[in-house]
């Protein structure tokens, strides 16, 4: 499929259009909210929460027997929440540090989810067939109703992010000072974490629980390379997320048997690599060039002064 | 209006981290309009004292009052300058934006800073001689400049009582001059300024009150009365010589700060 026919398909083919819209939604939401996870050094939290979503999804299916996306995503959200609460509990009451606690939660929740998934797959009815797509994502299975659910959830999350822009910025930069300004920092923290859970849930069907955290971290990390302003960073990150989402989802939807998650993650990884090397100011390549140039200039200067020095 | 009450009043304050007391039964009464240093060795609880008064550290027992009322209702009257190392200076924002954060509390929920806040921020930046840096990305600032930005952020609050955690930490001589002049101006304007300080040598020159702290409050009062060799010995243990042997006192107080930073930042989750 060449580029023109691909473009034609995106606009006029029902499946591909749905896939592209869904992937763009996921990219925008996780790209924008992922900035906060990265800036607050909570990249691992996103990973733990997305893995924790798996038992929630399967349990929601086992309890209700439906495969309604909204029901399953609600299960994912509750599980992500429980994981967050468990995390706070572990850090406060034991001597285990945050990184270890996250590792423990990630593996325990994910392991539990895998056991439940095996259990669900033993059920005779055919409804469970689609559950395993939540592992690595399957963009091709998106229908319009899924995209509407994703867009609705994502729009609410982004709207709240914009509404509390100043508060979230304060929370991310200097929480102690924020508390002295009279803002309930713990509540804001919980709120922002909840929004990140929503971003994860939005992307689960498309990218899957295993690689979803990459969609939070990678676009933000790439965007940070290009700008020193939070607003620009969030916008750019949303754009990168959408770009990688659409390209990855299109490739996986047109090629047979390709999971969407890994394809999307490869796309965003390419964007990250490019940004790390070539972004102005922060890019490694320009850094090396600058260093070489400085070194040369200094050497010239030293040489000249040595010559001129009247010994 | 506040003639009979102290600016800051702390009674029986105890703060513990797990089973280890960080502050033990601390009493403090700070009159309004003074410039006070808190000194003490590493781990003495200086930062914790400030954080406990500001409600940032959990209090096990005791009470803290600002102008006779709990901090929670007097928040507007209190400005805070945290340790410079407590934030990520690579955060994507510029100097003016950081200074405007000092107005966020007054703005309240959701409302964005506008031209009024911008003007106040410029004024504060002028006071710390940083007006030319307003658009500068904060990662490009030197240590002294970062400290001045933090100071400006507290100044835009227009508070009555200021708490500053090591504002002289790692700044150059010029900045130290600028800051101390500014603090003395604040005091002249009737404000109360409390500063965690490490350089014992400069205490008599810079401050008019001093609190010596080592988990317990050793002494608190006018520098001329309580900043004595005996009190310092009680505070720092071992032998510490000031008055004429400044070098040794400096040696004892100087290198403590770096370790202090990391510890205080990680204590409260």
Start-to-end CA distance of chain B, whole Å, equals 38
A133 to chain B, closest Cα gap in Å: 37
pLDDT, tens digit (0-9, with 9 covering 90-100), for A189-234: 989 999 999 999 899 888 999 899 999 999 999 999 999 999 999 9
Q: What is the largest CA-CA distance in chain A?
A: 95
Radius of gyration of chain B (CA): 18
The predicted structure's pLDDT at residue B242:
52
Residues of B in contact with A223 (CB under 8 A): none
Q: Alpha-carbon distance B40 to B229, whole Å?
A: 13
More confident residue, B22 or A12: B22
Q: Chain B residue closest to A174 (CA)?
A: B87
Chain A: which residues have CB within 8 Å of chain B? 39, 41, 91-92, 163-167, 169-170, 172-174, 176-183, 224, 227-230, 232-233
Q: Chain B residue closest to A226 (CA)?
A: B92
Report the pLDDT averaged over residues A38-58: 91
Contact B195, B180 (CB under 8 A): no
Which token pair is B123?
């004024």
pLDDT, tens digit (0-9, with 9 covering 90-100), for A136-173: 888 888 889 889 989 999 999 999 999 999 999 999 99
In angstroms, how far is CA B58 from the centroid of its own chain? 18
pLDDT, tens digit (0-9, with 9 covering 90-100), for A84-135: 889 888 988 888 988 899 999 999 999 999 999 988 888 776 666 678 888 8
As a 3-state breakdown, chain B gives helix, strand, coil percent values, each rounded to 5, of 45, 25, 35
Report the pLDDT averaged over residues A28-50: 93
What is the 3 state secondary structure string of A113-173?
Answer: HHHHHHHHHCCCCHHHHHCCHHHHCCHHHCCHHHHHHHHHHHHHHHHHHHHCHHHHHHHHH
The predicted structure's pLDDT at residue B264:
41
pLDDT level of residue A298 (50, 70, 90 thresholds): confident
The predicted structure's pLDDT at residue B209:
95
pLDDT under 50: residue ranges of chain B: 1-2, 243-269
B69 to chain A, closest Cα gap in Å: 16
Asked if this assembly's ipTM is beyond 0.90, the reply is no
The predicted structure's pLDDT at residue A70:
83
SS3 A15: helix
The predicted structure's pLDDT at residue B197:
94
Residues of A in contact with B76 (CB under 8 A): 182
Residues of A in contact with B55 (CB under 8 A): 179
Do A39 and B91 lie within an 8 Å CB cutoff? yes
Q: Considering chain A, what is the average pLDDT of its residues? A: 89
A88 to chain B, closest Cα gap in Å: 9
B79 to chain A, closest Cα gap in Å: 8
Report the pLDDT averaged over residues A33-60: 92
The predicted structure's pLDDT at residue B132:
95
Task: Report the residue of B104, B110, B160 to disrupt the A interface, i.e. the one with the largest count of A CBs within 10 Å.
Answer: B104
Report the pLDDT averaged over residues A68-93: 88
The predicted structure's pLDDT at residue B268:
37
Do A224 and B92 lie within an 8 Å CB cutoff? yes
B221 to chain A, closest Cα gap in Å: 27
Cα four-point dihedral sign A143, A148, A149, A155: positive
């Amino acid at each position: 499929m060449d580029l023109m026919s691909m473009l034609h398909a995106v606009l006029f083919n029902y499946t591909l259009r749905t896939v592209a819209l869904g992937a763009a939604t996921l990219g925008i939401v996780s790209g924008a909210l992922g900035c906060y996870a990265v800036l607050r050094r909570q990249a691992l939290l996103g990973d733990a929460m997305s893995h924790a979503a798996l038992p929630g999804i399967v349990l929601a299916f086992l309890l209700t027997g439906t495969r309604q996306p909204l029901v399953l995503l609600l299960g994912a959200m509750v599980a992500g929440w429980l994981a967050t609460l468990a995390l706070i509990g572990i850090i406060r009451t034991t001597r285990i540090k945050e990184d270890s606690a996250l590792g423990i939660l990630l593996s325990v929740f994910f392991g539990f989810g895998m056991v439940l998934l095996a259990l669900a797959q033993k059920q005779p009815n055919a409804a469970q067939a689609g559950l395993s797509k939540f592992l690595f994502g399957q963009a091709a299975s998106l229908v319009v109703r899924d995209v509407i659910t994703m867009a609705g959830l994502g729009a609410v999350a982004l709207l709240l992010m914009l509404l509390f822009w100043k508060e979230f910025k304060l929370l991310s930069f200097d929480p102690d000072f924020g508390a002295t300004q009279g803002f309930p920092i713990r509540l804001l923290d919980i709120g922002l974490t909840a929004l990140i859970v929503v971003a994860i849930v939005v992307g689960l069907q498309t990218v899957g629980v295993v690689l979803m955290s990459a969609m939070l971290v990678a676009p933000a990390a790439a965007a940070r390379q290009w700008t020193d302003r939070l607003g620009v960073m969030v916008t750019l990150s949303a754009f990168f997320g959408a770009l990688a989402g659409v390209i990855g989802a299109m490739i996986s939807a047109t090629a047979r048997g390709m999971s969407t998650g890994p394809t999307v993650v490869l796309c965003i990884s390419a964007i990250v690599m490019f940004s790390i090397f070539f972004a102005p100011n922060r890019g490694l390549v320009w850094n090396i060039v600058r260093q070489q140039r400085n070194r040369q200039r200094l050497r010239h200067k030293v040489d000249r002064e040595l010559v001129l020095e009247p010994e | 209006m506040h003639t009979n009450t102290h600016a800051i009043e702390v009674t029986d304050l105890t703060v513990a981290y797990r089973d280890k007391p960080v502050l033990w039964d601390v009493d403090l009464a700070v009159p309004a309009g003074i410039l006070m240093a808190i000194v003490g060795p590493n781990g003495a609880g200086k930062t914790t004292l400030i954080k406990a008064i500001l409600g940032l550290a959990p209090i096990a027992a005791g009470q803290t009052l600002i102008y006779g009322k709990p901090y929670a209702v007097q928040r507007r009257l209190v400005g805070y300058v945290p340790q410079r190392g407590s934030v990520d200076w690579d955060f994507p924002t510029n100097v003016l934006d950081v200074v405007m954060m000092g107005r966020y509390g007054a703005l309240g929920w959701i409302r964005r800073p506008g031209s009024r806040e911008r003007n106040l921020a410029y004024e504060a930046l002028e006071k710390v001689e940083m007006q030319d840096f307003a658009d500068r990305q904060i990662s490009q600032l030197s240590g002294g400049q970062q400290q001045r930005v933090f100071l400006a952020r507290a100044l835009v609050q227009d508070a009555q009582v200021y708490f500053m955690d090591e504002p002289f930490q790692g700044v150059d001589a010029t900045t130290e001059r600028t800051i101390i002049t500014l603090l003395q101006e604040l005091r002249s304007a009737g404000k109360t300024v409390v500063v965690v300080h490490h350089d014992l040598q400069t205490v008599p020159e810079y401050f008019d009150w001093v609190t010596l702290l080592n988990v317990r409050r050793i002494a608190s009062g006018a520098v001329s009365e309580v900043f004595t060799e005996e009190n310092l010995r009680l505070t720092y243990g071992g032998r510490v010589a000031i008055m004429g042997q400044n070098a040794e006192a400096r040696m004892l107080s100087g290198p403590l700060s770096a370790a202090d930073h990391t510890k205080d930042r990680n204590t409260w989750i």
